[in-house]
Chains A and B, each alone.
Chain A
Amino acid sequence: MSVAGQTSPSTMTATPAPAVVIDGLHKQFGALTALRAVSATIHTGRLTGLVGPDGAGKTTLLRILAGLLTPSTGRASVAGLDVVVDNDAIHHATGYMPQRFGLYEDLSVLENMRLYARLRGLDTTRNADLFAELLEFTRLAPFTARLAGKLSGGMKQKLGLACALMARPKVLLLDEPGVGVDPVSRQDLWRMVQALTDDGMAVVWSTAYLDEAERCDSVLLLHEGRLLFDGPPQRLTAQLRERSFRLENVGAGRRALLTAALDLDSVSDGVIQGAGVRVVLRAGAASNDIRALAAQARVELAAVPARFEDAFIDLLGGGPGGTSALAERLPPVELDSPSAVSCRDLTKRFGDFTATDRVSFEVRQGEIFGLLGPNGAGKSTTFKMLCGLLKPSSGQAQVAGHDLRHATGAAKSRLGYMAQKFSLYGLLSVRQNLEFAAGVYGLDGATRRGRIEDMIDTFDLGPWLAAAPDALPLGHKQRLALACALMHRPPVLFLDEPTSGVDPITRREFWTHINGLSRRGVTIMVTTHFMDEAEYCDRVAMLYRARLIALDTPDQLKRRAIDSARPDPTMEDAFIHLVEAADLQLAAA
């Protein structure tokens, strides 16, 4: 593979010039500071991860490096060229793949590639070799005649990558290439990027998934425009040596145990991992407290390797406490039906396309139930039918004992819903949003006033009441959305990708509330594409190609993927294993 062009490891000098030099970069958009004094170097032949949650400044930095934005102050150079002074030359030295790559959906794969070749000034007739090589590399050769609009998310990203590689750039800038790509295609992208760096190209891979950071040679960790860390991810996780533990096989009491652990002074962070609880101790804290807690709960305490996410949270000063002020105030939920949510042979067809195919399951009261699957697997269609946003073509769905097709009004007042992008009214103030949420669920008079005051107290929204939701910090925005969804105290809560793009601290706080709600008997239905978030669920339903391919506890799902190569598989491994098995089954049938 020689897409990267002339530079190959053998011809490189021992200490090559850095591919990118960033010096005191600052970028201001009106009142918003996107980058603050960022300085770093990026080396050739390495995969550099640009890691941070949404709004950290990743895209701004990449666009400055691609010569599409000028910095407010500070300098940056790519392949020895200044991004401002040598702006024209920058476009030849860099390959930039934006989040939504500009593919022409009505052109075929090959036509898109030709177009980008011509835009780069290449003679398409003389570059048949290059095309063949790129198609081979991206494994798109069988699909050259297919329209780009008809490709899957993963294939689109690969085509985008092929187009970005057209000019044989020295530096490849990829803005969140892993978004909207199923784990199998993501593996493919990693393999391709690995091959490019082996050939001496500098590749920058930006991501909001912290688990992706661990696969990079070097990491730039951005948070709110500041560079928090620059170096190999192992160096960051090494700081946490002997501070990460797991309370093994806790089982049913794990949510209570997590709360207890997080309320210990010596514990800085903790999450649920399947049947276990993972905790990280504060720097310099002794492990006595957590050992005592393990002994009290009669569970085993095992030291585990630190993860990048642990290190990130540690850098930010630890996660939030374990007690949910929200759950404390909520009365326990009593349901008069045996199952909180159930569906039988749930099917949805759009024309001759079946989005959900005979899905059946039952969710017990107080359970946290996850729906997992790649894009287009029918996960959101199923979810929407369960909460009444879509009518099933056939089959039944019940929420809290109500059939959604008949008693919709009654069933709807028993469920709460929180959508991906928080779905708040941006033109209304925080208080008006709360008033609306209460009013639309028919609360009035003293009840309404009481509930709204309760939510304001619980979520500390007092100082923000007159502000617009968009002016709130992300964490507060999430609290407001949760407050609106829970105003009418629903026994069943639907969460659609609730934490995508959210920083890990905000995500921790969110799950603290969800855990608390679950302990109060609220049933939680959640869709997520964060594999480690699936670990919070009591049970996970895996959807693939409109079918339910697996339904089990996270630990059981992982256990199925155990083989000699992966003795301790992650949720992502389990997912890939199940999808591959399903593909084999479909091929055999």
Chain B
Amino acid sequence: MRRLPSSLSFTRLHAQFIKEVLSILRDPRSRMIVFAPPLLQLVVFAFAATLEVRNVDVAVYDQDAGRWSHELVQRLHSARFIAQVRVVDNPAQVRDLLDRGKVIAALAIPADFSRTIAAGGTAHVQVLVDGRRSNSGQITVGYLASIAAELGAQADTDGAAASPAVVVRHWFNPNLTYRWFIVPGLTGILALFSALLITSLSIARERELGTFDQLLVSPTSTLEIIVSKSLPALAIGTLLGLLMVAAATGPFGIPFSGSFVLLLASLVLFILSAVGIGLMISAVSMTQQQAILGAFAIGVPAVLMSGFATPVENMPLALQWAAQAIPLTHFLIIVEGSFLKAMSAGDVLGNLWPLALIAIATLSMAAMFVRGRLQ
């Protein structure tokens, strides 16, 4: 028999790698978990989950019927976020429509609206908002306020004295397209969950089959076990991440302005740190079911704290510190910066080293956990 080096042997590694890849691709459960949720999430997040307000109805109770109230109603009609403007003629109808949730907001235009504007005064419109939908309601009020402001500006130009209007310009995402922000972030989330699930299932699956003991009695080393279980997850995670990048730049038309090579490097480091976490979960799980639960118990809070949904800066200081230990936090900064901000190499590297550190930490802990099974 050939002399076997103790820690790494290509033959043993090769055998295990083939076994892992076949196990992932042939297991219908594993296939489902790896490929279905990413596609589902892509569709859900990219099209349904949005913080913008669209397709809402508003009611208008116009007591004025003058030139400026007509102008306002016309502008409402042409506003893109409004699906239908419901014109009503008494306050009871306003109440009823709001009550039944048919409209998110109602505008009551007072009888002296046009007159006040013509006289050069400040006219007021009452806006009633459905407080049960507070978030969308607030955004709607914002939109309505900007329509009113435009109207005011127009009234001013009609008159003699043009008052200066504030013009806001949004950098990096001039139209504040929500998708531009969310799709690059999804790259990280999808890669995180696929890597987490593939690896957390891998040892648990073998434990259910009883093959893990068989592996442990063979001369294979912990290093080989970790490497052979990391590589397929790394390959699949990277592939999914790249697919998302392609989807973002292609169909979604999001400008990619950073360095692709640096993004790829951070993607690999990011997935490696997720692989380490997944292997730790797997090493302590007795069944695949426990492993899946564990992956979600770790993955969901990680996403919530990473800055994907709410900015890290808004969190209490302690959680801000904790967020620095989450690989997704750093990867999100890199991926969003690479897409929209043309992030400089220096800035990318500034977020890359924490990723490298986390990856080293999680993978060494995974090795300890796997070795710990031998106690």
Contacts and interface: CB of A to CB of B under 8 A. Distances in A.
Given A439-B15, A439-B16, A488-B1, A425 B211 contact: yes
Contacts of B23: 425, 427-428
The 8 A-B pairs with the shortest beta carbon distances in the complex, nearest first, are: A439-B15, A423-B210, A417-B217, A427-B26, A413-B219, A444-B11, A412-B219, A442-B4
17 contacts: A388-B217, A389-B213, A415-B217, A422-B210, A423-B210, A423-B211, A425-B22, A425-B209, A438-B15, A440-B218, A441-B12, A441-B219, A442-B1, A442-B9, A442-B12, A444-B2, A447-B1
Given A419-B210, A424-B211, A439 B11 contact: yes
A76 B323 CA distance: 65
Given A389-B374, A435-B18, A426 B11 contact: no
Contacts of B9: 442
Interface size class of A (residues with CB under 8 A): 35 or more
Nearest to B215: A440
Report whether over half of chain B's contact residues are helix, strand or loop; otherwise say mixed. Answer: helix
A424 B211 CA distance: 6
A436 B18 contact: yes
Contacts of A420: 210
Report whether over half of chain A's contact residues are helix, strand or loop; otherwise say mixed. Answer: loop
A57 to B, nearest CB: 25
A520 interface: no
Contacts of A423: 209-211, 213-214
Nearest to A420: B210
Interface residues of B, number: 30
A443 B11 CA distance: 7
Contact of A425 (B12, B19, B213, B220): B19
B375 interface: yes
Given A389-B213, A424-B211, A439 B22 contact: no
A428 B19 contact: yes
Contacts of A186: none
A424 B6 CA distance: 25
Contacts of A425: 19, 22-23, 209, 211
Interface of A: 387-391, 409-410, 412-413, 415, 417, 419-428, 432, 435-436, 438-444, 447, 484, 488, 494
B217 A390 contact: no
B87 interface: no
A435 B210 CA distance: 18
A390 B15 contact: no
Interface of B: 1-2, 4, 6, 9, 11-12, 14-16, 18-19, 22-23, 26-27, 209-211, 213-221, 374-375
A422 B374 CA distance: 20
B57 to A, nearest CB: 53
A204 B367 CA distance: 51
Nearest to A439: B15
Contact of B218 (A410, A421, A435, A441): A441
A550 B219 CA distance: 33
B214 A391 contact: no
B217 A494 contact: yes
Contacts of B19: 425, 428, 432, 436
A422 B213 CA distance: 11
Contacts of B221: 409
A419 B217 CA distance: 11
B5 to A, nearest CB: 9
B214 A419 contact: yes
A409 B18 contact: no
A77 to B, nearest CB: 40
A489 to B, nearest CB: 8
Nearest to A496: B213
B217 A439 contact: no
A208 to B, nearest CB: 19
Contact of A432 (B4, B22, B27): B22
Given A390-B374, A428-B19, A439 B14 contact: yes
